[in-house]
Amino acid sequence: MKKPTKLKGRGALSNRAGRFAKTESERVYDDLEDEELVDSVPTELHADASRSIVARNRSPDIPFDQSINPYRGCEHGCIYCYARATHSYLDLSPGRDFETQIYYKPRAVELLRKELARPGYQVSPIALGTNTDPYQPAERRLELTRGILELLHETRHPVSIVTKSGLVLRDLDVLERLAQDGLVAVFVSVTTLDKDLKRRLEPRTAGPERRLQAIRELSRHGVPTGVMAAPVIPALNDHELERILEASADAGARSAGYVLLRLPHEVRPLFVEWLNEHFPDRAEHVLSLVRQMRDGRLNDPRFHSRQRGAGPYAELLKARFERARRACGLTGSIELDTALFRRPRPATGQLELL
């Protein structure tokens, strides 16, 4: 029997051990085995016992100082996701474990309320969705992201969201209220307009039309919306860059950004494995172009360079993006108001003396 590769609704083809694992096992299949191979793997949810919720950032090439990720792991299964490598810290695989072993933070709202109530808390926009999608399938039932947004509205705290899920429209009511005070911006990630490529790259995400619909509805209700063409993968989806920006602008987006494919740590072998399985005819060409933009390697962790790459091909992508951005009128910036913040009431409901 052959070792299973593609599984329904999953991006990774294997469950490679993380870089901190002390042991690694590998199953060997042969023609004498009589075991039926599974064609799917269920998702398991686990409560995360985190005692803090806000992560601080000091990276000079990222436009936010603090972020919240209600979930660790992501069921969307995007094979290129740089967050896959973080599952190694849980002694789990960045491969299929990342897609099927999802950790959620049940105390997210409680912890955030406590953080915002600190006397020394300094207001700056909180970014949601910087690591894993805040609107992945588990959110439909757990509503952690919605609870966070409701608290941020209560405290008049600015927030930005990045998602590739149509589930964001469920929270249109609270997003609209935040937008009325200049407190929210939503960026919808549109990787491709090709449904077949989307199904292979991002098996459990919303389709291209659903994402454009999200931009359209958010914009129609006054929620400032942008598009992220991310990641740009040479010889795979880079030819769609202009069409993605044009379609997003037509839907109502007012700003745009892009990020070059990143392959840190364990993401690199997982992506190469996936690429050879799904696009064997062009795999070497894709990897060659990536190396051209990454100083001869498949990943460059240096600030500034890691988002855009370097070299002639990277400069060409940048020029194409800037030209398309201007042509589509996606030159607007979205500024969030930090002056309206008011500390939350104690969770007990007791009023403050002063």
Separation of CA 293 from chain center? 22
Q: Quote the pLDDT of residue 23.
A: 58
Q: Quote the pLDDT of residue 90.
A: 93
Residue 102 pLDDT level (bands cut at 50, 70, 90)? very high
Query: What gap in Å lies between CA 348 and CA 345, rounded to an integer?
Result: 8
Q: Quote the pLDDT of residue 59.
A: 83
Q: For the ranges 44-58, 112-126, 336-350, which has the lowest average pLDDT? A: 336-350
Question: For residue 309, what are its two tokens?
Answer: 């790459």
User: What is the β-pairing status of strands 126-128 and 66-68?
Assistant: parallel
Residue 94 pLDDT level (bands cut at 50, 70, 90)? very high
How is residue 223 annotated by DSSP? Answer: -
User: Which of the two residues, 63 and 194, has the higher pLDDT score?
Assistant: 194
Query: What gap in Å lies between CA 41 and CA 254, rounded to an integer?
Result: 39
The enclosing H or E element of 317 equals helix 312-327
Q: For the ranges 11-20, 67-76, 172-181, which has the lowest average pLDDT? A: 11-20
Residue 22 pLDDT level (bands cut at 50, 70, 90)? low
How does pLDDT run across 279-324, given as a tens digit for each residue?
999 999 999 999 999 999 999 998 888 899 999 999 999 999 999 9
Contact 48, 126 (CB under 8 A): no
Q: What is the mean pLDDT of residues 197-206?
A: 97
Residue 139 pLDDT level (bands cut at 50, 70, 90)? very high
- Side-chain-side CA neighbours of 162 within 13 Å: the count stands at 22
**CB atoms near residue 6 (< 10 Å):** 14
Residue 27 pLDDT level (bands cut at 50, 70, 90)? low
Q: Quote the pLDDT of residue 19.
A: 76
Question: For residue 67, what are its two tokens?
Answer: 């972020």
Domains and CATH numbers, the chain: 44-327 (3.20.20.70)
Peptide bond into 208 cis (omega under 30): no
3-state DSSP assignment of residue 185: strand
Q: Quote the pLDDT of residue 39.
A: 65
Burial (Cβ within 10 Å: 0-12, 13-18, ≥19) of residue 9:
middle
Q: What is the mean pLDDT of residues 213-227?
A: 98
pTM for the full predicted model: 0.90
**CB atoms near residue 216 (< 10 Å):** 18
**CB atoms near residue 72 (< 10 Å):** 22
Q: Quote the pLDDT of residue 3.
A: 53
Q: Quote the pLDDT of residue 47.
A: 97
Query: What gap in Å lies between CA 64 and CA 124, rounded to an integer?
Result: 8
Question: For residue 232, what are its two tokens?
Answer: 């740009």
Alpha-carbon torsion 330, 127, 304, 285, what sign?
negative
Percentage of the chain exceeding pLDDT 90: 80
Q: Quote the pLDDT of residue 38.
A: 55
Contact 224, 254 (CB under 8 A): yes
User: What is the β-pairing status of strands 71-72 and 101-104?
Assistant: antiparallel
How does pLDDT run across 33-60, given as a tens digit for each residue?
433 445 678 999 999 999 999 999 888 8
